[in-house]
Structure 1
């Protein structure tokens, strides 16, 4: 599914390195945002120990596909923080990718661009 002109196979050294690192889930599906308790995470959310633009770990959403692979990348513009930050989708179905995208746009009020190859 991806955007024309972009390679959305999510293979190669960058993605192999990302997948070789443990995912630390700090907000399992159904958990509430620590500062905004009305916001509930619809998919497991956490990070890997690769520094992102905010100086923290690289954010990831982890879905329910049985194979451990990168299924998409979402770039989020957080207008409050004035940051453009990637969110990596690991093992997410097409439905989960849509859910995550909607969550980021509707609940967290971010502007998003995404590319995916989920089944």
Structure 2
């Protein structure tokens, strides 16, 4: 089985992206999805200005109820209707909010998502002798 390298340097770069960009919340908690009225956002949802994700749109962010300036996790979603994969950042989410976000993103047969939680390991190649 191949392991995932979840290292501190990667998360530092994500923190820098978040801290150097303005977060715009365009879908507050408990509002409906713009296309699908049965999808209700469990936490604030928005994007980072002046950034670009793989879909050529700004990087998406789920903002929870805790005060935090660190990226705690990533969501990677695959959507067969849009024929794409997207990455979304999680900031300040409680364990319950993380679970609600996963339920929200996995409730249709067309899209599925996984979460990658923050790691703090420094890889061998990054350690000084």
Range of TM-score over shorter length: 0.7 to 0.9
Structure of larger gyration radius: 2
Gaps of 5+ in 1: none
Gaps of 5+ in 2: 119-129
Alignment of 1:1-119 (within 5 A): 5-7=4-6, 9=8, 11-49=11-49, 50-106=51-107, 109-117=110-118
Relative to the length of structure 1, the TM-score reads 0.84
Structure 2 SS opposite 1:12: helix
**What CA distance in whole angstroms lies between the structure 2 residues aligned with 1:33 and 1:24?**
16
**What CA distance in whole angstroms lies between the structure 2 residues aligned with 1:12 and 1:26?**
26
CA 1:21/1:113 → structure 2, altered by over 3 Å: closer, same or farther? Answer: same
Relative to the length of structure 2, the TM-score reads 0.78
Corresponding residue pairs, total: 115
